[in-house]
Structure 1
Amino acid sequence: MDFDWDDLRLFLAVARLGGLSAATETTGLSAPTLGRRLAALEAAMGEALFRRSQSGYALTPAGEDLLARADEVEAAMLALKRWKDGAMGARTVRVSAGAWTSAFLASHVGEIWSVEDKFGLELVTANEKIDIGRRNADIGIRNQRPTEPYLAGRRVGTVAYGLYSGRQLINGVAAGYFVGLAGSGAPQTQSARWLQARHADRIAVRGNDAMSVRELVANGAGLSVFPCFVGDADPRLIRIAPLITELETEQWLVCHHEERHHPAVRAVTERIAILLNRYGSLFSGHDPQGAS
């Protein structure tokens, strides 16, 4: 069969992120449209590529085989793009991080990119690690030291977590209920797993993305767990208990050991390091007022 690169791109997005809903943000397509495109790809290949369940999409052996080959195609396409960008004097630096960290970077974009830069910036939001080795991102912000031999890591701080409520003790908050995360993203976040393990019987309301959970908590639906750099910076939320020490993680800036020397990648890496260092007390939970 003849492969359409766009179909392979969609397949890669779902395979890496583990479900349709997570891939909607990176592909720009709705979940039903993604589902139809993947079903058509499977029909054309004559075998299933995914095992579908309520917890997400898992690759079949055929899917694993296609993933390995599609990775190679993508690497070649990225190399062509970078060759073209280089010929035109332009480059896009891709930064991968979780939803909250990506939102933090977006809110401080002026400190990591400007119109005077000779390169573009792309934020790649995902709960799972993006493969930097295959150049799916240039820079990753991770919660642990990289173990891959081709990656270089730099610790930039710690991330603390706390239990938060809205400032008005109404509705679920007054009743002592919790707000949880629903959908394919829930098993991929340590805070959601912690909440489910300890308070599953008290989770009365759920949202299918992190931002929805924050809005629910801020408006009195119940209590939930957030990174301190999220909860402490939101004036609608209040931390109601000591830090959850078992959820504390390290924060690492990760690059490919060769790409880190590219001027554009080096510039963005240094700017992000400076930014995260400046807000270090907020990330570590020692700035309860969320001051800048």
Structure 2
Amino acid sequence: MPFKNGTHSWDDLRLFLAVASEGGLANAVSRSGVSAPTLSRRISHLENTFSMILFDRHPGGVTLTPQGRELLEKVQQMDLHNQAIHSWRTRQDPRPLVRVTVGYWTSIYLTRNLDRLFTSAQSPRIELLSGSQFLNLSRREADIAIHNKQPDQQGLKRHRIGPVTFAIFGSPTYCTSHPQSYSEERYAACDWVIPSQSGATGGSSSWLRRKIGETARLVCDTPQAVLEAAAAGGGLCILPCFIGVNESRLVQVSDPLASLPHEQWLVTHENSSALPHVRHTANAIATLMKQQQVGIDTAN
């Protein structure tokens, strides 16, 4: 660990510690990994730097002078800090971290497709920050964001991913026992599972409330609970197609709802986007999100 202070360095002090601890140059060779002539030269250089004699030389080895003993106490403290730093560093993951802020359903989709984001052991680590409140890239609260509308802040790079569509889904058992699920009668004749006002993820929840009023069979405070309840046969729900189409426990009972699609944008700060690990992760997410659109088109 380089540690320079004026004209002396931690490397010289480390060698001083080895010689002082071993009581001589010969004994310090194996501990320091440096030859005896080199040790002698470096110790002399350190003494010249401090303008003081640190060791008394004699045929049996060396002994510390009073100034050398004082220095040894300080260097031993430095060595303890150095060991602590080394121990801390070895516990850190060498792979860089990329912070990604996304909406709830996008976070679900990304976690279900981790093998397509982590393509190798050297892939960057990801901290997924989901929720309706997106973090500020300009303040470096995150490195990558996926937005439902094009941001207009300065200093951001924007990449259009494509449209997100929504449809009505229910469990096969429920839809078989409620054939109205496949027609416009569904809004009045079927049971519904909806998110609460606080758990809503976007305009689709408001749209559905306008269609069914306050008649929902079940109101859930998280989007995941809505999905689970619908999959368990609790009623119909509205989902982004990239979630519903890929959920084996659900069937799609409507065409994509024409009034709800919106564009999806991948956003990075222009400074962060120059970092290889951020660029790699952004490209992987953009590719994955575009591929899910192809899958939805094929399914429908």
Q: Same fold (TM over 0.5)?
A: yes
Structure-2 change in CA distance of 1:163 and 1:262 (3 Å): same
Match of 1:77 in 2: none
Q: CA deviation at 1:89?
A: 5.5
SS at structure 1 position matched to 2:299: coil
Task: Give, in whole Å, the separation in 1 of the partners of 2:95 and 2:288.
Answer: 24
Task: Give, in whole Å, the separation in 2 of the partners of 1:147 and 1:125.
Answer: 21
Q: CA deviation at 1:161?
A: 0.3
Match of 1:281 in 2: 294
1:96-123 deviation digits (Å, cap 9, x = unpaired):
1111111111122122225632642111
Counterpart check, 1:219 vs 2:232: yes
Which ranges in structure 2 are unaligned for 5 or more consecutive residues? 1-88
Counterpart check, 1:127 vs 2:132: yes
Match of 1:200 in 2: 213
Aligned pair partner of 1:190 in 169, 180, 203: 203
SS at structure 1 position matched to 2:110: helix
* Count of residue pairs brought into register by the alignment: 202
Counterpart check, 1:236 vs 2:249: yes
Task: Give, in whole Å, the separation in 2 of the partners of 1:277 and 1:118.
Answer: 20
Q: CA RMSD in A?
A: 2.6
Aligned pair partner of 2:282 in 265, 269, 277: 269
**Aligned sequence identity (%):** 27
1:92-107 correspondence runs (5 A): 92-107=97-112
Q: CA deviation at 1:240?
A: 1.2
Contact 2:95–2:122, Cα closer than 8 Å, also in 1? no
> TM-score if structure 1 supplies the norm length?
0.63
SS at structure 1 position matched to 2:263: strand
Task: Give, in whole Å, the separation in 1 of the partners of 2:125 and 2:131.
Answer: 20
Aligned pair partner of 1:150 in 147, 155, 158: 155
Counterpart check, 1:138 vs 2:151: no
Instruction: From the CA coordinates, give the structure whose radius of gyration is larger.
Output: 2
Aligned pair partner of 1:177 in 154, 174, 191: 191
> TM-score if structure 2 supplies the norm length?
0.61
Which ranges in structure 1 are unaligned for 5 or more consecutive residues? 1-83
Task: Give, in whole Å, the separation in 2 of the partners of 1:216 and 1:118.
Answer: 35
Q: CA deviation at 1:287?
A: 3.2
Contact 1:232–1:287, Cα closer than 8 Å, also in 2? no
